[in-house]
Amino acid sequence: MLRAPSPLPGFGLGLGVLLSALTVIVLVPLAALLGRGVVMGPAEMAGHLSSGRVQAALLLSFRAAFIASAFNLVFGLALAWVLTRYRFPGRRLIDAAVDLPFALPTAVAGIAMTALYAPNGVFGQLLAPLGIQIAYAEAGIWVALIFVGLPFVVRTVQPVIDEIDPEWEEASATLGASRLRTLRRVVLPTLAPSLMTGFAMALARSVGEYGSVIFIAGNIPKMTEIAPLLIVIRLEEFNYDAAAAIGLAMLGISFAMLLVINAMQIWNIRRIGHV
């Protein structure tokens, strides 16, 4: 079982290093969280999660992350397509700018966006007369999460678009397919796996986002209070169990969602027969 199937040397060492790194960095903190949950027991955990405020916060976090990631799915695909298929001045600059959300501390992004979208900000001033409020409302959370999630979709789809041979589209056209049909039957199926991966990563990233959101959301319980903030609030009350319960709930829901997305991937790959 542990014998390397490949003639390359170093399998044992490689696996050892990988497993210990994975254990220390990922598994131990998660195990600590799970351990807290086990000690607490399911009844007490359900008690912590049954309050309306906790449920509202969880629902808000997942809803906002889903909306933002869905937006990024469309917008990110379009952006990746333009950046890969067309040549225009400034393309490399825009391409580099896509990575900025990775590099910028999210608190900085949150403060900057709050300044722009607040009722006296540059955008907020234009939207206020129309009765649209972004900062200190749920829409503000969407805006912040779109910002953090965008590079995940663009960066996962880009290399795949790069590999699609334009000849496939030409072949499809010469066989009489309309542009829409080519897009639907040739391009999108090829991109679907990477789109789903990008969507899943953006979703997972935005569900847990804290730094940028707390500045732009109003943080009002049951309205604009995200689950990660509620975890912090529970910690401030020295209520570690309630904090762990919310953390575990988020972990469980995220895990289930990623599982569903992965299952869809497998199903999709079987259907087309290749990636």
Partner 1 sequence: MLQTLLRTPAATALAALLAGSALFTPSLAVAEIKLLNVSYDPTREFYRDYNALFAKWWEAQGKEPVVIEQSHGGSGAQARAVIDGLEAQIVTLALASDIDAIAQNSDLVAKDWQAQYPHNSSPYTSTIVFLVRKGNPKGIQDWNDLIKDDVQVITPNPKTSGGARWNFLAAWGWAEKITGDEASAKDYVSQLLRHVPVLDTGARGATTTFVQRGVGDVLLAWENEAFLALKQMGPDAFDIVVPSVSILAEPPVALVTGNLKDEAQKEAAEAYLSYLYSPEAQALAIAHYYRSWDHSQAKPEDVARFPETELVTIADFGGWSEAQPRFFGDGGVFDQIYGE
Note whether 201 binds partner 1 by CB under 8 A. yes
Tell me 211's DSSP state: T
Applying CB under 8 A, the site for partner 1 has a residue count of 41
Token digits of residue 15: 């696996």
The residues in 112-131 that bind partner 1, with binding defined as CB under 8 A, are: 114-115, 118-121
Q: How far is CA 240 from the centre of its chain?
A: 26
* Residues 6+ away with beta carbon under 8 Å from 138: 60, 64, 217, 223, 224
Question: If you count them, how many residues does the chain have?
Answer: 275
Note whether 99 binds partner 1 by CB under 8 A. yes
Cα–Cα dist 271/194, whole Å = 15
SS3 label, residue 73: helix
Interacting residue with partner 1 among 30, 59, 74, 96 (CB under 8 A): 96
The residues in 211-250 that bind partner 1, with binding defined as CB under 8 A, are: 214-215, 218-222, 225, 229, 232-233, 235-239, 242
Compute the least distance from the CB of residue 271 to partner 1, in Å: 20
Cα–Cα dist 223/237, whole Å = 21
Return the range that interacts with partner 1 (CB under 8 A); candidates 23-31, 45-53, 183-191, 267-275: 45-53
Interacting residue with partner 1 among 17, 23, 41, 51 (CB under 8 A): 51
Q: Which residue, 131, 146, 176, is CA-closest to 69? A: 146
Q: Interface residues with partner 1 (CB under 8 A)?
A: 51-53, 96, 99, 102-103, 114-115, 118-121, 135-136, 151-152, 155-156, 158-159, 194, 197, 201, 214-215, 218-222, 225, 229, 232-233, 235-239, 242
